[in-house]
Structure 1
Amino acid sequence: MTWDEDLVVELRNRGIRFVLIGSLAARWQGVPLDLTDVDILISTEKENVEKLSTALSQLGFKRGGSKWTWGMKPGDVSATVGRQPITVFLRSDNEVLEELDVMTYMAGVGRYENVVASGKTIQIGNVSVAIAAVEAIKRSKESLNRPKDQDHIAAISRWEAQQKAI
């Protein structure tokens, strides 16, 4: 398995409640997108946040940045998880930099419960993983309207047109 598959399976095996969103979720549904990181949307229940915090620390992730730092120090995992809309965690083996973006809200779609309700479940090995539907991923990218999302929106639109033609 690839690092992103290993990570997703490990988090599910630890009982962490999350839904896979972003480019990786779209790619696992057949949309040809480049992968730069893993984006997850978490349930913000205290027990879930604590499990995720422990897992990230044990798996060697360090806080790499966030949209709002709220005075936290780089590398601080436990004080960060679940407290910010977006927090970036990094892990490196000196050859590959692995980036995990942990979110508490999916722009244009909503919180964990909303995304899970409209999403899908896929199998990675013998583990079931909740993923956001392609429509939700596109809606989120459109609502953010960042330059880096424009190519992904176009790729998703082409993929949707191909799916309708089949």
Structure 2
Amino acid sequence: MPTGGRKTTSVNLGEVLEGLLEAGVDFILVGGLAAVIQGAPVTTMDVDVVHSRSHENIAKLLGFLKSVDAVQRRLDDKVIEPKELDLLGKGHVLLTTRLGPLDVLAVIEGGRSYEDLLDYTVEIEFRGHTLRVLDLKTLIEIKKSSTDPKEKQRLPVLRETLRQLEEEYGREEDKEDSDN
């Protein structure tokens, strides 16, 4: 897909996440990478985040996007850099960066925003930062309502990963209870 003549030289999704965290951007990791980080054996090629749409956060996000040469992914060769109004709206901003693809989402299925999703996140330590990730149970609920066949195909894998996590953590809690 053309992106205005700018090509991603490599894909390093970890660096995308680390850059967002170092810039102080408030976001929740959603999508395939959120599942991978929680142990799901699925493949993903981009970073999907739901961001806080406060003016202060948008300023931080724009600073990060400029630092990674972000441009909107398009079918033509027109180069469009993300603007504040793009990120304040309720739509999706699909970007190509020098580190890899980044999808910045104002809301996800059901119109759920950053603030709506905060209670459904887990915090994971990532390269010295705390990363907010949409929990697997909520991710499964969202994928169930998706019309994308690819998302439907992932559901059994996500459900099995959740089952295994619940089984593992349930055993750890049982062990802690018996130790007390």
Say whether the fold is shared (TM-score over 0.5): yes
- For residue 34 of structure 2, what is the aligned residue in structure 1? 25
1:2-151 maps to which residues of 2 (within 5 A)?
3-65=12-74, 74-78=79-83, 79-92=85-98, 98-108=100-110, 110-151=112-153
Greater C-alpha radius of gyration: 2
The alignment yields a C-alpha RMSD, in angstroms, of: 2.1
CA contact (8 A) 1:43 1:112 kept: yes
* Identity of matched residues, %: 22
2:158 partner letter: I
Give CA deviations for 1:94-142 in whole Å, capped at 9, x if unaligned. xxx7210100112147110121222111011111111100011111112
For structure 1, the residue ranges without an aligned partner over 5 or more in a row are 66-72
Q: TM-score, normalised by structure 1?
A: 0.83
Give the residue type in structure 1 aligned to 2:94: V
Rounded to whole Å, the distance in 1 between the matches of 2:51 and 2:126 is 19
Matched position secondary structure for 1:16: coil
* Structure-2 change in CA distance of 1:165 and 1:121 (3 Å): closer
Q: Provide the C-alpha distance between the structure 1 equivalents of 2:166 and 2:123, rounded to a whole number of angstroms.
A: 21
Distance 1:84 1:75, change over 3 A: farther
Q: Distance in 1 between matches of 2:88 and 2:138?
A: 21
Whether contact under 8 Å (1:5, 1:124) holds in the other structure is no
CA contact (8 A) 2:137 2:162 kept: no
- Whole-Å separation in 1 of the counterparts to 2:89 and 2:143: 22
Number of aligned pairs?
A: 155
Structure 2 length-normalised TM: 0.77
- SS of 1:76's equivalent in the other structure is coil
Q: How many angstroms does 1:165 deviate by?
A: 4.8
Quick one: distance in 2 between partners of 1:81 and 1:114?
Answer: 17
For residues 57-83 of structure 1, give each alpha carbon's deviation from its aligned partner in whole angstroms, at most 9, with x where no partner exists. 221111114xxxxxxx64231142232
Gap regions ≥5 residues in structure 2: 1-10, 169-180
Distance 1:16 1:99 in 2: 17
Moved more, 43-52 or 156-165: 156-165
Which of the two has greater helix per residue?
2
Aligned partner of 1:154 in structure 2 is 156
Using the TM superposition, give the Cα deviation of residue 143 of structure 1 relative to its aligned residue in structure 2, in angstroms.
1.8
